[in-house]
Structure 1
Amino acid sequence: MTIEADADIRRKEAVEWFARLNQRKVTTADVRGFSDWRRDPENARAFQKVETMWEAAGALAGNPDMAALTAEAVRSGKGRRRATSGLLVPLGVAGAVAVCVVSLVWFQQRPASYTTEIGEQRTVQLDDGSRIVLDTNSAVAVRYTRESRSVTLTSGQAMFEVEGDPQRPFIVAAGDTRVTALGTRFDVRRSGSGARVILVYGRVAVRQEVARPSGWSLEPGQQVTTSADKPRVIEANVPAATSWTVGRLTFESTPISVAVAEVNRYSREPIELRDPRISEIRVSGVFNAGDIDGFVAALTDLYPLEATRSPDGRIVLAGGT
């Protein structure tokens, strides 16, 4: 059994004991059973957490979500009774207590979601002091518990600046890839079923959860793309790769097809390449993210290219005469 599974079992047992002891009638057998169960220090800690959460429920009494959950718990518990040690015990109160505690656990641990639209960037300050900088058209879900700090990058790209906490590892999931860090700064971009991870400073462990799991440890200035045919750690041009965080896109002898694809991430009216002859032209320069017109003007000035506007509003690039 994993540590996480064992902890889940203890939490469930703690909620059940809390509900049972808050019934209108508690039997001697209940008290003895609880005493035996609580002798385990881990069980005692789990029960104390449930008590703390129940006390905290008072502070959330006015929250619409908690109010709805509590009302539902009471409605579902009304009128039900069961026999315990020869006594009829009303389940309305016990059921409501159990469901409300579970609801409170869910409320406190449910993921918080953050997204950006096309062309938008956003900085999210987390409760522990860590920060997430979301790039265009990106989405993350954040879940903090007492044991861990978990973020799921469901789409796009994000820069993570993590505050160190040895007791709670910071884990980023992106497809089949898991990045574990303490105090560090790193960039993660979804790529196929995996991700590209670039380490700016600190240290991270990258693991790919596939049929044959693989792992890599990155040093500052290194990157790994887990969706590659043969993932390996290579050197990264960190300033160029992370310039998006300051609203810039940096290209260094980048094929125009790759550069255009990157620029298009920031626009609802993407550039289209209809001439395969120009796809391998190499582009170098620093451009403002989202400035499609400036990018196209630079390309047509520097390279033998022509730009036209199609009826649907797209900018079409082709080779010049």
Structure 2
Amino acid sequence: MKQDNGKGDRIDAAARSWAVYLHSGDAKPDKIAEFDAWLAADAAHVHAFRRYEKLMSDLVLIPELGEVGLFEGTRAAPGVIAAKVPRRSSQRVAAFVMMIALVGGGITVFGAGRTFQDASPAMVPGYETTIAEIRDVQLADGSVVTLGARSRIEPTFTDKMRIVKLYEGEAFFDVAPDPARPFYVEAGDRLIRVVGTRFDVRQGPETVRIAVVEGVVEVLQADNPRKAEAAREGIAKDVLRAGDEVVARIGSGEKTIGEIEPAEAAPWRRGWLTYENASLGEIVADANRYSPRQIVFEGEGIADLRMTAAFSVEKIDQFILGLEVTYDLYADYSEPDRVRLSRP
């Protein structure tokens, strides 16, 4: 019996999405098991994946990527597949295909600083990075903070507490143990409390993301570390351990708790930006921290597009190209310091 178009489209979208994810460099064992189950559930799934394998074999776009074992002994071709690519130069098409796959109604995309002084004498000097700069900062207690591009922190240390406020951007914390002086990070409307551990914090325009590499982290929705410490036992909190991640929406109690591979946390330290079901506005906010040419939106709704993405900070122009082709957006490069994204 002929497969209905709706089901076929969903299978194609899933096959493309799996191809992107499996070659993102961030594939997790539980997701690979989920892929195996999806592949085994229907022969049409295998056929769809094989079609993309054949296409990628013909294109020979990313030969350096490894292979992915498939159900019934098939093999996944290296690379990412794109649908309905308009006629462009082979170089631009290759750049696009390496990054992006259309998924349903959206897309899946893969592909030394300065210090400033705060006027308050109670503050330790703060630190910020410039565009595309990543910097290690050693704090007075021996903790080390790796600041992502265009990020800013401000420590306040007392004999009872250690507090670091993340004003913008992302930071990876390697906290020196000191049970007598808990370590708090303020990010958005969340507090992160530890006594000695390693974790990553990203503050975006919409969400705060915390990923734990080692130790135990408490995440509280509160705005004052001193008051939170005094009333800690009575405050609701999420307790995260190594391999846990929480994405909390700023301004609400909404949150999503998931799992990560601890060794793969904070991929921005290796030059990659990764997202799951994030808005384009949030992704662009991060990309703009790594590029002197800022991406701006012209028109409503573009920033609200949602996608799962992973791309190199050195390939932001290719990321823009992928958005142009897939979403029929137009990128205007006429200004030297910005790229304007709009609908034609």
> What TM-score, normalized to structure 1?
0.54
1:216 matched to 2:238? The reply is yes
User: Which residue of structure 2 aligns with residue 235 of structure 1?
Assistant: 258
Structure 2 vs 1, CA of residues 318 and 121 (structure 1 numbering), >3 Å: closer, same or farther?
same
Q: Secondary structure at the match of 1:164?
A: coil
User: Which residue of structure 1 aligns with residue 333 of structure 2?
Assistant: 309
RMSD: 3.7
Once residues 176 and 257 of structure 1 are traced to their aligned partners in structure 2, the CA distance between those partners, rounded to angstroms, is 19
User: Which residue of structure 2 aligns with residue 113 of structure 1?
Assistant: 126
1:265 matched to 2:278? The reply is no
Structure 2 vs 1, CA of residues 210 and 131 (structure 1 numbering), >3 Å: closer, same or farther?
closer
**Please, which moves more after superposition, 302-311 or 111-120?**
302-311
Aligned length: 214
Matched-pair identity in %: 34
Once residues 204 and 310 of structure 1 are traced to their aligned partners in structure 2, the CA distance between those partners, rounded to angstroms, is 46
- Structure (1/2) with the larger helix percentage: 1
- Structure 2: 5+ residue runs without aligned partners? 1-119, 225-233
Once residues 320 and 206 of structure 2 are traced to their aligned partners in structure 1, the CA distance between those partners, rounded to angstroms, is 31
Residues 280-309 of structure 1 show CA distances to partners (whole Å, capped at 9, x for unaligned) of 666555322264324324444666544332
Once residues 274 and 302 of structure 1 are traced to their aligned partners in structure 2, the CA distance between those partners, rounded to angstroms, is 17
Once residues 204 and 338 of structure 2 are traced to their aligned partners in structure 1, the CA distance between those partners, rounded to angstroms, is 25
Greater RCO (CA < 8 Å, at least 6 residues apart): 2
How far is 1:181 from its partner?
A: 0.5
Q: Secondary structure at the match of 1:261?
A: helix
Once residues 178 and 253 of structure 1 are traced to their aligned partners in structure 2, the CA distance between those partners, rounded to angstroms, is 24
- Structure 1: 5+ residue runs without aligned partners? 1-105
1:131 matched to 2:144? The reply is yes
1:155 aligned to which of 156, 159, 168: 168
1:250 aligned to which of 268, 274, 282: 274
**Please, which moves more after superposition, 111-120 or 145-154?**
145-154
Structure index of larger Rg: 1
Structure 2 vs 1, CA of residues 156 and 258 (structure 1 numbering), >3 Å: closer, same or farther?
closer
User: Which residue of structure 1 aligns with residue 179 of structure 2?
Assistant: 166
Once residues 287 and 145 of structure 2 are traced to their aligned partners in structure 1, the CA distance between those partners, rounded to angstroms, is 22
> What TM-score, normalized to structure 2?
0.51
User: Which residue of structure 1 aligns with residue 248 of structure 2?
Assistant: 225
2:205–2:285 contact (8 Å) kept in structure 1: no
1:176–1:193 contact (8 Å) kept in structure 2: no
1:119–1:267 contact (8 Å) kept in structure 2: yes
Once residues 174 and 230 of structure 1 are traced to their aligned partners in structure 2, the CA distance between those partners, rounded to angstroms, is 14
Once residues 224 and 197 of structure 1 are traced to their aligned partners in structure 2, the CA distance between those partners, rounded to angstroms, is 7
How far is 1:216 from its partner?
A: 2.5
How far is 1:117 from its partner?
A: 1.8
Once residues 127 and 210 of structure 1 are traced to their aligned partners in structure 2, the CA distance between those partners, rounded to angstroms, is 24
2:213 aligned to which of 200, 223, 229: 200
For 2:257, the aligned partner's letter is: I
Once residues 141 and 257 of structure 1 are traced to their aligned partners in structure 2, the CA distance between those partners, rounded to angstroms, is 26
Q: Secondary structure at the match of 1:156?
A: strand
How far is 1:312 from its partner?
A: 6.2
1:296 matched to 2:320? The reply is yes
2:189–2:251 contact (8 Å) kept in structure 1: no
